[in-house]
Amino acid sequence: MSSGRSPTIRPLKGANIGFGNVAEWAHQPAFAGRSEFALVAVAEPLPERRLQARALLPRARLYDGLEALLQGEPALDFVDICTPPRRHVPLTLAALKRGCHVLCEKPLALAPDEFREIEVTLAQTPAALVTVHNWKYAPLLALATAWLRAGTIGTLRHFSWEVYRTPASGGGLTQWRQDPAAAAGGILVDHGWHAFYLALAWAGAPRALKARLVKGPDSPTEVEAEVELQFPGATGRLFFTWRASERGNRGRLTGSAGEIRLEDDALIRLAGASVMESRAFPEKLSAGSHHPRWMAGVLAEFLEEIHDPERRGRNFQEAQTCASLIRLAYGSHEAQGAWLPLPSP
């Protein structure tokens, strides 16, 4: 005879790989708010960061690297990779080969051969792989995208998106963003990746782009980037800088029947000169670098890919396109800002 009780669903057991600022201030709070996940272990090479992991996750077992963690935790369901970018590919491959689902900070990878190796590995495992595309879950940007898709400004004709950050932004204890060996690029990789998946949501895949990059006097990587894009029926412009006097974000979506203005903490929809709708948001897009509330959408996407194999691959294709656009932008800059076509998938 049935007791009438619902069966208890075991949370997925996971581990943080890397416990820097993004793990502490974005991932860990998001996981703490979801009963479907349980962080049971952390792999972190820096002793001071392991101490912080101990303070925040007192029941988690601590390791100094992935290999030790995988040996000590044979029953893991997933890993959450929060290391600097250069470590993303080897860590992702190692976890997938153990059958673990993988959530990975951006960029997942940059080179075509890296994506091919990941794709081959995915074909040999039942595991899911999701890259953290958290900006599309920012309430302001999600609403702007919803307004656009609902046809409130007609057909999109042009968009712009600008990111202003101050010098030496971020990197935690190791200041990895200033180290090309760890960061895999400059602001084009760091903020361009986010901008490209937003552009894909607004206008689809572009036909071609051109780019202009600026290196700082003491930086081997770019500190400023401007990218122009051509789409079927629309154009776009992206601008990112680490040379601003203050942090900020702004943009516009211009359509055949109106415009959406994206401010740092507000959306304004216009028809001609008339304001049709305006929304204010309590947190600026540029307020901090971690945004734990946006991670709720990322974790929902991760769960969907874990539990529904039919959904797998969408996020991976989005990541592949972001990487292709970054490579194309570097190539355009090297060709003195020439327009370059997006290669066929």
Domain boundaries, the chain: 12-127, 136-287+314-341
Instruction: Indicate the CATH number of 12-127 among 2.60.40.1940, 3.40.50.720, 2.40.50.100, 3.30.1360.30.
Output: 3.40.50.720
Q: In this predicted structure, which of 2-16, 122-136, 142-156 has the lowest mean pLDDT?
A: 2-16
- Please determine, for residue 58, whether its predicted confidence score (pLDDT) is greater than 50: yes
Identify whether the C-beta of residue 140 lies closer than 8 Å to the C-beta of residue 281.
Answer: yes
CA 239 to chain centre: 17
Q: Give the span between the Cα atoms of 251 and 162, in whole angstroms.
A: 6
- As assigned by CATH, the class of the 136-287+314-341 domain is alpha beta
pLDDT of 6? 44
At residue 339, the 3 state secondary structure works out as: coil
- Please determine, for residue 3, whether its predicted confidence score (pLDDT) is greater than 50: no
- Please determine, for residue 266, whether its predicted confidence score (pLDDT) is greater than 80: yes
pLDDT of 337? 98
Is 58 or 343 the better-scoring residue by pLDDT? 58
**pLDDT class for 1, splitting at 50, 70, 90?**
very low
Identify whether the C-beta of residue 56 lies closer than 8 Å to the C-beta of residue 321.
Answer: no
Identify whether the C-beta of residue 90 lies closer than 8 Å to the C-beta of residue 67.
Answer: no
Q: Give the span between the Cα atoms of 90 and 104, in whole angstroms.
A: 12
Q: What is the mean pLDDT of residues 51-71?
A: 96
pLDDT of 30? 97
- Please determine, for residue 169, whether its predicted confidence score (pLDDT) is greater than 70: no
- Please determine, for residue 177, whether its predicted confidence score (pLDDT) is greater than 80: no
- Please determine, for residue 280, whether its predicted confidence score (pLDDT) is greater than 60: yes
Q: Give the span between the Cα atoms of 339 and 68, in whole angstroms.
A: 47
pLDDT of 331? 98
Identify whether the C-beta of residue 188 lies closer than 8 Å to the C-beta of residue 203.
Answer: no
pLDDT of 139? 98
Q: Give the span between the Cα atoms of 209 and 188, in whole angstroms.
A: 14
Q: Give the span between the Cα atoms of 70 and 76, in whole angstroms.
A: 8
- Please determine, for residue 344, whether its predicted confidence score (pLDDT) is greater than 50: yes
Is 344 or 289 the better-scoring residue by pLDDT? 289
- Please determine, for residue 272, whether its predicted confidence score (pLDDT) is greater than 70: yes
pTM: 0.94
**pLDDT class for 2, splitting at 50, 70, 90?**
very low
**pLDDT class for 218, splitting at 50, 70, 90?**
confident
**pLDDT class for 333, splitting at 50, 70, 90?**
very high
Mean pLDDT across the chain:
94
pLDDT of 296? 96
Q: What is the mean pLDDT of residues 308-325?
A: 96
pLDDT of 345? 65
- Please determine, for residue 200, whether its predicted confidence score (pLDDT) is greater than 70: yes
Identify whether the C-beta of residue 110 lies closer than 8 Å to the C-beta of residue 184.
Answer: yes
Identify whether the C-beta of residue 31 lies closer than 8 Å to the C-beta of residue 80.
Answer: yes
Q: Give the span between the Cα atoms of 29 and 225, in whole angstroms.
A: 32
Task: Give per-residue pLDDT as tens, 112-133.
Answer: 999 999 999 999 999 999 999 9
> Looking at the DSSP assignment, which residues form a beta bridge with residue 58?
none
